[in-house]
Amino acid sequence: MPKMTFVETDGTRREVEAPLGLSILEVARRHNIDLEGACEGSLACSTCHVVVAPEWYDLLPDAQEDEEDMLDLAFGLTKTSRLGCQIRISEELDGLVVMLPGAK
């Protein structure tokens, strides 16, 4: 099973199992990672904003216009920011690293 690493706001790294087909938001919830996702993945908020490690960013599918619009409202926006509800785990993303906004 693929794995991914969340870097929490205090710098703690948590490597977790990331089942194929789940979104980053769903993976976070399975492992009690503090990633809100207030709109349940309906692209009506930016509370599942994550910062993708630069070495992984180019492996992701491009963000759609709706996601980009919501990202404009996100706290701590960076060049590699994405919404966790919009990225699905694939074999290619085994080892993915994402930081929660404000992470060191």
Residue 53 belongs to some domain of the structure? yes
Residue 94 belongs to some domain of the structure? yes
Q: What is the largest CA-CA distance in the chain?
A: 33
Residue 37 belongs to some domain of the structure? yes
- Stated pTM of the model: 0.94
Model confidence pLDDT, tens digit, residues 17-70: 999 999 999 999 999 999 999 999 999 999 999 999 999 999 999 999 999 999
Model confidence pLDDT, tens digit, residues 59-71: 999 999 999 999 9
Number of domains in the chain: 1
Q: Provide the CATH number for the domain around residue 52.
A: 3.10.20.30
Residue 104 belongs to some domain of the structure? no
Residue 8 belongs to some domain of the structure? yes
**What pLDDT, on the 0 to 100 scale, is given for residue 102?**
75
Alpha-carbon distance of 82 to 40, in angstroms, equals 15
Q: What are phi and psi of 56, to 5 degrees?
A: -100, -20
At 104, the pLDDT band (50, 70, 90 cuts) reads very low
Give the residue-averaged pLDDT of 66-82.
94
Residues 6+ apart with CB under 8 A from 67: 43, 82, 83, 86
Range of the domain at 62: 3-99
Residues 6+ apart with CB under 8 A from 58: none
